[in-house]
Amino acid sequence: MRRLGTGALAAAVVLSAALPPAVAHGRGEAPGHRVVVDGLDNPRQLDWTNDGADLLVAEAGRGGPECSPDGACAGPSGAVTLVERPGSRSPEVSTPVEGLLSIATAPGGVAAVGVNGVDTTDVPGQYLVAGYDAAGPPMANGSLLVAVQEASDVTSVLAWADLQAAEEELNPDGAQVHSNPYAVLYVDEDPGGAPDGYALVADAGANTVWKVVPDLSTQTEEQAPEHEITAWATWPTTALPDGTDDPAGPAEFVPTSLTSDGDGNVYVGGLGSERPGAASVVKFDADGTELDRWDGFTAVTGVAVDGEHLYVSELFGPTPPALGGEPGAEESAAGSADGSEEAADPGAEEPAQVPGRVVVLHTGDPEATRWGVDVPLPADLATDGRRVYASVNSLAPAEGIPAGPQNPFGAVGGGAVWALDFSQARRVEPVEAAGPGR
């Protein structure tokens, strides 16, 4: 048996000091991640209810029966899942919001878009969803913030703010007019007081974080309030006129994720054109002034902060797969769903490794050591100060994705939320972005 060398032992000691104790697995829990809830369709943003006790999960859905000639299929499969007491061994799971528009461009509901983001507002019983208008033509819908208001006898769905219209009017990055909102952060300026908050929205298509300020005096039960929509933060575009990424130019930021800390600072994660090492996380103050930045990530799709630690999910980290290439040997969808089994054929090649990683670092040190754990295709993250949660297999419907010639990952498990375990995290280095993408 190989013995633990002094170098490895020293690294383990540094690891235990570098990570907050809360993110190692809890007492009495088996090592490894814990499945909090599974059976989700393309889970994306995670957020907390106003009291911080329960976890919200945005489910982008799996498309539906109404299809266009280009193969996109739409239907009312978008939803918001509520996980009560996610830290308990038996959390209660419900679906307070369902029937919202979902659009899938791949067979089987893979990589659908729809309910990409969710947060609660300072209006009791109200959810704010980044998605599309279920009342409009499915294949011609612009992006919206959708307000879902729970009441004792009826649940209303209102097109709360028209982000596509804001993009058409303002087009902050000066490029292709396209809106694809991916995360919502509702800022309550006076918790416990009268409703007075506003929403920040990470819009990947517009390469912008919008600030959406409602005039609640204009809201009725049947009509959403009027809004002032401005560009809170914008990044330059390098896309070609047809909207595709220019491989000869620098990578675009492409905001995908939002979170805030106890001081009101806002953290924005960017996709970085999905290039290795080209993704970043930027810290702003509440007014949108940049304070700090962490580079060297790959395809950031989630951020969370806990005290002095920053958690970052890399959808394809540390390096993207060769999309469209040949996948590795098959592995069972059931095995990959919980990460515990692989293909058992001794004559087969090594099963394809589903990409994805969650990284943690100390925010107070620009040269802070980074530690990472493998997590399959993670989207957003959330932390309650004791545990870190991740939406995993975030491009997959509930039943997962089978291995096959169009799947570069091998078999992928179904959409789920995990409580992560960093006790076996390994040291990772920032990835150097190559060429003009640097």
DSSP label of 430: P
Least confident window among 39-43, 223-227, 349-353:
349-353
Rounded Cα distance, 95 and 326, in Å:
37
280 within some domain: yes
Rounded Cα distance, 270 and 258, in Å:
10
Do the Cβ atoms of 339 and 332 come closer than 8 Å? no
Number of H helices, E strands in the chain: 3, 26
Predicted confidence at residue 216, as pLDDT, reads 81
254 within some domain: yes
Strand partners, 92: 84
337 within some domain: no
Residue 186 tokens, joined: 């509702």
Q: Which amino acid is at 41?
A: D
21 within some domain: no
* 70 CB-side CA count, 13 A: 7
Do the Cβ atoms of 327 and 339 come closer than 8 Å? no
Predicted confidence at residue 336, as pLDDT, reads 37
Domain count, the chain: 1
Predicted confidence at residue 193, as pLDDT, reads 81
CATH number of the CATH domain containing 291: 2.120.10.30
pLDDT at residue 6 is higher than 50: no
Residue 182 tokens, joined: 């991916």
Q: What's the pLDDT tens digit per position in 306-332?
A: 988 999 999 998 877 754 333 333 333
Give 13-81 as a DSSP string.
HHHHHHS-GGGSPPTTPPSS-EEEEEEESSEEEEEE-TTSSSEEEEE-----SEE-TTS-EEEEEEEEE
Give the angle 420-394-254 at the CA atoms, nearest 5°: 105
- CB burial of 389-407 (b: ≥16 within 10 Å; e: otherwise) equals bbbbbbbbbbbbbebeeeb
pLDDT at residue 418 is higher than 90: yes
341 within some domain: no
80 within some domain: yes
pLDDT at residue 11 is higher than 50: no
Average pLDDT of the segment spanning 105-112: 89
The residue that leads in pLDDT, 310 or 248, is 310
Longest dimension (CA), the chain: 71
Which phi-psi region, left, alpha or beta, contains residue 385 (left: φ > 0; alpha: ψ -120 to 50)? Answer: left
Print the domain residue range for 253: 38-318+352-428
404 within some domain: yes
Predicted confidence at residue 137, as pLDDT, reads 67
Do the Cβ atoms of 375 and 391 come closer than 8 Å? no
The residue that leads in pLDDT, 388 or 344, is 388
Burial (CB < 10 A; 0-12, 13-18, 19+), residue 137, is exposed
Do the Cβ atoms of 116 and 60 come closer than 8 Å? yes
Q: Which amino acid is at 197?
A: G
Q: What's the pLDDT tens digit per position in 188-234?
A: 988 878 888 999 999 999 999 999 999 888 877 777 889 999 999 99
Do the Cβ atoms of 318 and 279 come closer than 8 Å? no
436 within some domain: no
Burial (CB < 10 A; 0-12, 13-18, 19+), residue 367, is exposed
pLDDT at residue 17 is higher than 50: no
> Phi and psi dihedrals of 144, rounded to 5?
-140, 165
Q: Give the closest residue to 206 by CA, choosing from 246, 255, 240.
A: 255
Residue 368 tokens, joined: 């802070």
Predicted confidence at residue 373, as pLDDT, reads 96
> Dihedral, CA atoms, 247, 269, 380, 424, nearest 10 degrees?
90
> Phi and psi dihedrals of 335, rounded to 5?
-65, -40
Do the Cβ atoms of 358 and 378 come closer than 8 Å? yes
pLDDT at residue 118 is higher than 60: yes
Q: Give the closest residue to 288 by CA, choosing from 200, 170, 179.
A: 200
DSSP label of 251: P
Q: Give the closest residue to 238 by CA, choosing from 229, 251, 255.
A: 251
Work out whether strand 156-162 and strand 73-84 pair parallel, antiparallel, or are unpaired: unpaired
Work out whether strand 309-314 and strand 370-374 pair parallel, antiparallel, or are unpaired: unpaired
Rounded Cα distance, 284 and 179, in Å:
22
Residue 32 tokens, joined: 């490894």
Instruction: pLDDT band for 256, please (50, 70, 90 cuts).
Output: very high
